[in-house]
């Protein structure tokens, strides 16, 4: 065990703040939030790249991620669904590896020095990119099957967090419920947007394969969970920095029905639905609500029209929110005081009446100073109290 004395000053602030504010279990807190009720404090979620998690564990003298989440007062625990037991993911001579959809990916290292380096996997080859006809796409031999998963441990993994924590079923990069993102991976980003404008039959063909997979896969996951999930997260990136990536009519034409199906299936199992999308999706939010969404995530504050004060005022009666902590400017480039001001602004404008889970708009990145991460979580506890 690490020497507690070394870290006592760094831990003391968060420990003292939590002792003053916490009177409920994390699950009680999360359930109240998504039902638009005030709890003892605003629930906290945590999105970090692995390198930041490691740095945090060193900073606070913690031995593993479970200790880190508990120490920081994170209320949500992620469930990534069943275990994959399907086709072997082929490794190609160039080092790229096929994923669930047959998309080839490669590992990339980024960052200027070892203290600020990270890794991610990027798409290296989109297998449907050069296909010209619906017939070719239908004949593609790597459309996934719900039978490629072992569902036997889903309930036990959810139950391991209950009843203390709020459990979010979110899938991983292979199996997170979506429509546009798998299409981009399979077809390539550029070709996808060409198709959306010029090749509607191809868009509909790919979309139908994707939606058909998820409307058959998700009920198996939810049934296997035996009621041990509290909320389900699906995700697409429908927004850019300055507006939606597609117009409202295009969203309605291609993606509205699938969106509603996904929500309806989750609701039939008693689950609330969270939707992750980066960027400015303000123009799409009324349709999200109309088609069953319960919670919008990530509320990217540097994107136009995504100010939490405005969103809460206009949509807060019908929608709960998660996110709004800026990872583009404030966390990597600001001071601890800038971070505190950001948290206070969000809490002042979003916590009243419940309906808010505070979190960063995406993973905290490796270029973020540990002092800013510490300020973030300290401010969560200071300003999140009801």
Which domain CATH number covers 286? 3.20.20.210
pLDDT of residue 10: 76
Contacts of 297 (CB under 8 A, 6+ apart): 233, 274, 275, 276, 277, 321, 322, 323, 359
pLDDT of residue 2: 46
Identify whether 317 is part of a domain.
yes
SS3 label, residue 164? coil
pLDDT of residue 116: 75
Count other Cβ atoms within 10 Å, centred on residue 5: 8
pLDDT of residue 8: 59
Identify whether 117 is part of a domain.
no
Identify whether 214 is part of a domain.
yes
Contacts of 133 (CB under 8 A, 6+ apart): none
Q: CA-to-CA distance for 112 and 183, rounded, in angstroms?
A: 32
Q: CA-to-CA distance for 106 and 120, rounded, in angstroms?
A: 8
SS3 label, residue 161? coil
What is the CA 29 to chain-centroid distance, rounded? 19
pLDDT of residue 7: 54
Q: CA-to-CA distance for 195 and 201, rounded, in angstroms?
A: 8
- Residue 295: name the closest of 344, 339, 363, 230 by CA: 230
365 DSSP 8-state letter:
P
Range of the domain at 69: 4-85+140-383
Identify whether 135 is part of a domain.
no
**Predicted TM-score (pTM) of this structure:** 0.95
Q: What is the pLDDT along the chain (386 residues), one digit of tens a residue?
A: 444 445 557 789 999 999 998 999 999 999 999 999 999 999 999 999 999 999 999 999 999 999 999 999 999 999 999 999 999 999 999 999 999 999 999 999 888 776 778 888 899 999 999 999 999 999 999 999 999 999 999 999 999 999 999 999 998 877 899 999 999 999 999 999 999 999 999 999 999 999 999 999 999 999 999 999 999 999 999 999 999 999 999 999 999 999 999 999 999 999 999 999 999 999 999 999 999 999 999 999 999 999 999 999 999 999 999 999 999 999 999 999 999 999 999 999 999 999 999 999 999 999 999 999 999 999 999 999 99
Identify whether 131 is part of a domain.
no
* Sign of the CA dihedral with 215 first, then 218, 222, and 223 last: positive
pLDDT of residue 174: 74
Q: CA-to-CA distance for 89 and 185, rounded, in angstroms?
A: 16
The count of structural domains within the chain is: 1
Identify whether 110 is part of a domain.
no
Write the DSSP assignment of 223-282 as a string of letters. Answer: HHHTT--SEEEEE---EETTEESS-HHHHHHHTHHHHHHHHHHHHHTT-EEEEE--S--G
- Buried (b) or exposed (e) across 197-218, using 16+ Cβ within 10 A? eebeebbebbbebbbebbbebb
Identify whether 112 is part of a domain.
no
Contacts of 176 (CB under 8 A, 6+ apart): 170, 233, 234, 235
Q: CA-to-CA distance for 349 and 357, rounded, in angstroms?
A: 12
SS3 label, residue 222? helix
SS3 label, residue 323? strand
Identify whether 287 is part of a domain.
yes
12, containing H or E segment: helix 4-21
């Amino acid at each position: 065990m690490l020497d507690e004395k070394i870290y006592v000053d760094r831990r003391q602030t968060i420990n003292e703040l939590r002792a003053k504010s916490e009177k409920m279990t994390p699950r009680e807190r999360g359930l109240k939030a998504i039902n638009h009720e005030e709890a003892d404090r605003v629930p906290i979620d945590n999105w970090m790249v692995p390198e930041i998690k490691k740095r945090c564990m060193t900073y606070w003298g913690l031995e593993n991620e479970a200790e880190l989440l508990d120490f920081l007062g994170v209320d949500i625990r992620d469930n990534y669904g069943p275990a994959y037991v399907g086709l072997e993911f082929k490794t190609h001579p160039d080092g790229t590896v096929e994923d669930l959809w047959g998309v080839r990916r490669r590992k990339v290292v980024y960052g200027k020095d070892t203290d600020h380096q990270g890794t991610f996997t990027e798409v290296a080859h989109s297998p449907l990119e050069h296909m010209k006809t619906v017939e070719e796409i239908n004949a593609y031999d790597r459309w996934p099957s719900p039978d490629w998963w072992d569902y036997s441990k889903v309930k036990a993994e959810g139950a391991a967090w209950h009843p203390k924590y709020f459990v979010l079923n979110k899938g991983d990069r292979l199996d997170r419920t979506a429509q546009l993102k798998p299409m981009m991976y399979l077809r390539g980003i550029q070709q996808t947007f060409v198709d959306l404008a010029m090749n509607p039959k191809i868009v509909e063909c790919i979309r139908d394969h994707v939606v058909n997979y998820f409307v058959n896969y998700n009920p198996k996951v939810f049934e296997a969970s035996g009621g041990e999930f509290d909320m389900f997260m699906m995700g697409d990136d429908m927004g850019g920095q300055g507006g939606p990536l597609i117009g409202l009519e295009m969203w309605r034409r291609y993606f509205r029905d699938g969106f509603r199906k996904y929500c309806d299936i989750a609701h039939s199992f008693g689950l609330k639905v969270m939707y992750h999308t980066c960027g400015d999706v303000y123009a799409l939010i009324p349709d999200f609500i109309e088609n069953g969404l319960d919670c919008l995530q990530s509320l990217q504050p540097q994107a136009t029209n995504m100010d939490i004060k405005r969103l809460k005022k206009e949509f807060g009666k019908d929608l709960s929110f998660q996110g709004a902590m800026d990872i583009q400017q404030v966390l990597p480039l600001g001071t601890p005081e800038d971070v505190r001001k950001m948290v206070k602004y969000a809490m002042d404008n979003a916590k009243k009446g419940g309906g808010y889970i505070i979190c960063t708009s995406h993973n905290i990145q490796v270029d973020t100073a540990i002092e800013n991460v510490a300020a973030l979580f300290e401010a969560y506890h200071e300003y999140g109290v009801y």
